[in-house]
Amino acid sequence: MGIEGDAYRYAVKNAILHNGKASSGAIVGKIKALYPKLDIKKTMEIALEAVKKANSLDENELKKEFEKFEKQGWELKPKEKEEKLPLLEWAKKEKVVTRYAPNPNGPFHLGNARTAVLSKEYAKRHDGKFILRFDDTDPKVKKPIANAERIFKEDLHWLDCDPDETFFASDRLDIYYSYLKTTLQKGFAYICQCKSEEWREKIKKKQACPCREIKAREQVKLFDKMLKGEVKEGTAVIRIKTNLEHKDPSTRDWWAAKIVDKAIHTNPNAIGKHVWPSYNFASAIDDHLLKVTLVIRGQEHEQNKTKQEFLYKYLGWKYPHCFHIGRISLPGLMLSTSKIKEGIEKGQYSGWDDPRLGTIRAFRRRGFKPEVLKEALFDLGVNTNDSVVQWAKLIDLNKKLIEPESERMAFFEEPLQLDIHLAPGQMGKLLVNKKAFEKFKKGNVVRLRQLFNVKITKKDPLQVFADFVGTAKVNKPIVGWFREGKDVEIVMDDDSKKLGIADNKIAGKEKGDRVYFDGLGFCIIDAIEEGKIMLRFTHK
Ligand code: GLU
């Protein structure tokens, strides 16, 4: 029946109930319940249209319409959660092998997690295999970070995306060399020794460079010299021959390997190597050799498919199935690997889990649940659109999950002692929030949360005095309190620190436990050091 149809049914029902005059408010509620994903503007438009249509019916027509719908029954259930991941028709015949292939030159963040969780999900659904492969063959510009394997694996594990196998391209250089040699021997590639600007000028004009025509035997000889380190960096580039007429100049004779004289690498197996394959070459070879059947990667790699297909054709291989997906952003969070890295190096960020970053570590440390990130990513589906992940949505989902396990308690940045005169000769002492008491004056009555009511009799900068005035729930300001407090330190979402005192019941908690501080929000215990409890602010 569709959204418009459903809206109209309810408009008719509403009109019957209100003398032929339906109102859009009620219809909006119904549409929202049935189609929660529809944005509010569209919902309003549809509701208004439906109301207009229903209100234009005369009494008879309205009755007829109503009876028709009455027969069909009114109660509609929200539609089954839409399946956003396309089905793999081919998976009946082929095994599903996916891979997540980061260049480990920076941390794992929400932007690249989209590829990882989708790849894992498809492998899981089809009883296939999910490979983690580090595309770490750039030892100069995008050098790998230290401990990349541990860091990526920890984060993947947290997201329930453990790989079945792990590979490092930097361990496989000899494999790429053998394919480079084959392509040179067969005349599918050439070593270009032209100055790069000259080569570029030619290729722009769709002209072949003279090196392209040098005999295969000579090419292979030169390649051997390159491997031995006898050719200087910047003087020789291996290029795959492509269609020179190709409309995208970057595709024409794309580079497959080059020389790096002083390669810096974390992998001891890669030290001392002179020839380094491009991502495009290594990744293309590996996708085939590792029997990858489904490649899921960023939209920016779509043209790389075109490049790699030349190589696949030469080698007689079948190119894997591909999904290219759009970029994601999260307003207010940094999601650029290079900027994150730069910021950390400059000391702008405290580390990879600085709460201002969109890294998986930062989300984890700050107290987000992995299911929340995954749901938000799945919700974007598989498409090439660039998407914005909404904070409000992440927080909403996370709140639902953490609320039951977060004990509610008071937290004050500055406490104030409250002396209560309970009965003749009987005094009680509590700690309250100095800030909350700023607005109260002598004579005001306040309710101590879940306790009783007191009337302020005297206020000093460090102390307040009050009389007990009853236990009945009254319409008076409610304030938090505790008998004994504990020092806590909270790292907020902007990396600033809040020091204060929390209810001593926090003392029984452990690292990883969550609390809800009145007036502040959800926090997670990050560490307990020498009796001091350090927390991270999760969200309001
Ligand atoms: N190393 C590439 C990246 O990090 C992977 C692209 C691909 O999956 O082919 O973007």
Q: Residue with structure tokens 């009945």? A: 472
What the block records as the tokens of 25 is 């408010």
Instruction: Select the CATH number that applies to the domain covering 91-332 from these four: 3.30.70.20, 3.40.50.620, 3.40.50.1100, 3.30.830.10.
Output: 3.40.50.620
Q: Which CATH architecture has domain 405-409+484-539?
A: Beta Barrel (2.40)
Q: How far apart are CA 205 and CA 456, in angstroms?
A: 87
Residue-by-residue pLDDT tens, the chain, 540 positions:
678 888 999 999 889 888 889 888 888 888 887 887 788 888 888 999 999 999 999 999 999 998 888 877 766 555 555 578 999 999 999 999 999 999 999 989 999 999 999 999 999 999 999 999 999 999 999 999 999 999 999 999 999 999 999 999 999 999 999 999 999 999 999 999 999 999 999 999 999 999 999 999 999 999 999 999 999 999 999 999 999 999 999 999 999 999 999 999 999 999 999 999 999 999 999 999 999 999 999 999 999 999 999 999 999 999 999 999 999 999 988 888 889 999 999 999 999 999 999 999 999 999 999 999 999 999 999 999 999 999 999 999 999 999 999 999 999 999 999 999 999 999 999 999 999 999 999 999 999 999 999 999 999 988 999 999 999 998 999 999 999 999 999 999 999 999 999 999 999 999 999 999 999 999 999 999 988 999 999 999
Sequence-separated (6 or more) residues with CB below 8 Å from residue 230: none
Give the atom of ligand 1 at the shortest distance from the alpha carbon of 297.
Answer: 8
Burial class for 540, CB neighbours closer than 10 Å (0-12, 13-18, 19+): exposed
CATH class held by domain 333-404: mainly alpha
pLDDT at residue number 3: 85
E-strand ranges in 255-320 read 255-259, 275-277, 294-298
- Nearest 5°: the CA angle 260, 116, 494 is 90
Task: Tell how far the Cα of 283 is from the centroid of ligand 1, in angstroms.
Answer: 8
Q: How far apart are CA 51 and CA 14, in angstroms?
A: 9
What the block records as the tokens of 502 is 């929390």
What the block records as the tokens of 151 is 């860091």
Q: How far apart are CA 101 and CA 287, in angstroms?
A: 10
**Closest among 368, 376, 289 to 84, alpha carbons compared:** 376
What the block records as the tokens of 213 is 């025509």
Q: Tell me if 114 CB under 6 Å of ligand 1.
A: no
What the block records as the tokens of 205 is 């004009």
Q: How far apart are CA 262 and CA 394, in angstroms?
A: 44
Element (H, E) at 34: helix 24-34
Same fold, 91-332 and 405-409+484-539: no
Q: Residue with structure tokens 């609390």? A: 515
Task: Tell how far the Cα of 78 is from the centroid of ligand 1, in angstroms.
Answer: 38
Q: Tell me if 279 CB under 6 Å of ligand 1.
A: yes
Give the atom of ligand 1 at the shortest distance from the alpha carbon of 298.
Answer: 10
Q: How far apart are CA 75 and CA 162, in angstroms?
A: 43
Q: How far apart are CA 239 and CA 256, in angstroms?
A: 5
Q: Tell me if 155 CB under 6 Å of ligand 1.
A: no
Domain 411-479 has CATH 2.40.240: yes
DSSP 381-403: -SSS--EE--HHHHHHHHHHHHG
- Out of 135, 296, 304, 321, mutate this one to test ligand 1's pocket (max ligand atoms within 8 Å of CB): namely 135
What the block records as the tokens of 485 is 């407090």
Q: How far apart are CA 222 and CA 209, in angstroms?
A: 17
pLDDT at residue number 77: 56
Q: Maximum distance among all alpha carbons in the chain?
A: 108
Q: Residue with structure tokens 């049914």? A: 9
DSSP 327-343: -EE-TTSB--HHHHHHH
Q: How far apart are CA 241 and CA 244, in angstroms?
A: 8
* Phi–psi pair at 115, nearest 5 degrees: -65, -45
pLDDT at residue number 20: 86
Q: How far apart are CA 285 and CA 304, in angstroms?
A: 13
Write down the domain spans for the chain.
Answer: 2-72, 91-332, 333-404, 405-409+484-539, 411-479
pLDDT at residue number 531: 82
Q: How far apart are CA 423 and CA 413, in angstroms?
A: 30
What the block records as the tokens of 40 is 């509010």
Question: What is the residue with the minimal CA distance to atom 5 of ligand 1?
Answer: 101
